Structure 1
């Protein structure tokens, strides 16, 4: 694993920092097609209309996910420069977190599923925003996931209540039921990510010592006859609550260190989320920096 950090004055510099970090970790970059690749993972990385967009593929030129995911203006709040970035690069997973305007955070991530036996490539990709504008900001909660026709959960595999693929901010190519990148039979009314963890997330932080447990980030595919199949179990990221953590704080658990971030913007006074913040919902990334 490698850890990289720095500042970027625009999206071009941010994209280049991500490309450079991935290059040091065995990824290849094709500047003509704007595709990062490693093994069976292919990612088109572009700057479009003021957004950094990520599109998963099954080859360098084909097999696109149904939509892109993005970093950029969320609601009425644009990115502000210079922004700081942190890149957490592992053999099979890459995470980028950006911080701007003091307490705003966005992220993108991609990798290869560790779940065995998937007929597809197993590549997953996510970011703060789907391809829709998210013009109304954020909708996130611990009951069913959140997000609507003009919002984002701003969280990875949190699940949505969206009515179209444009509201999804994560995709995974399992190809179960010959459905390629789709996470569900239908995109209406079902959360497919965080739902199984809802009871535990609702109990954090614990009353005994005010700490928050780090919970697995997993996602499933909805199958025929109301069955579910696990399709991702991330190695280097965890769900948590950030009530008693400062964004960027490093937590040591045994021999592992984890860096804590809010999904978008912490608001301890309104801990279950809102249109301009994600309350105390957050995540932890495995940290092997200085």
Structure 2
């Protein structure tokens, strides 16, 4: 199978490059070859007819910056995947797109199901929701995979930040009233590769959720990082109101992933095992 991936240096794109199975050839497009702010270039990369499926692993992920630059975030996260999905629909090939829990309101404590009403709290969530709506409207075979709290050994992420600060300080204050599923980028890559092969064989796509288990707070996640990394830094849980940010964060980022397992046989990954792998890789 010939695969085209938008994204080259991000967490999921990097893991996709490392985990391609035998028989799958992939071209990875970085910003120098496909700028998501230029939607026409994204569509053109697909329209040349040299790919059998497309994964969009590129996005605007600067949540706070989106508040002051929503127009650009909306193009990158909304218009670009819409253009990709339109091109894939015309070419009659599967399109797989990564989305986020930020499309929801973050209220309550029940895990959100794919069919639950959406109500993003800020610009980033609105931009990602626009992308989802455009992908569905294109009418082609597609998979929208909502995920959360992505981490890996590369790029900027919570694990690497905690490790750096944990080596410098004796105490860190970390938000304890936001809950979700930390998700290894490697597991997202594996899920996408399994799904795209199933879709090429005729499996339907749709909108699905995928996040790590068990659900935890950011403070819980930080404590596990310190323990498994052998750091003595103590974690003090604080409420979100004590850590103000330009963008409002959802308190509930829990995702019900049962539909994905039923459709594709892909279970939720244990993020603690994923964390061990990341720590081992960083230590090496």
When the two structures are superposed, what TM-score results if normalisation uses the length of structure 1?
A: 0.31
Q: Higher helix proportion, which one?
A: 2
> Which fold has the larger relative contact order, with Cα–Cα distance below 8 Å and residues 6 or more apart in sequence?
2
Give me the TM-score of the superposition, normalised by structure 2. Answer: 0.31
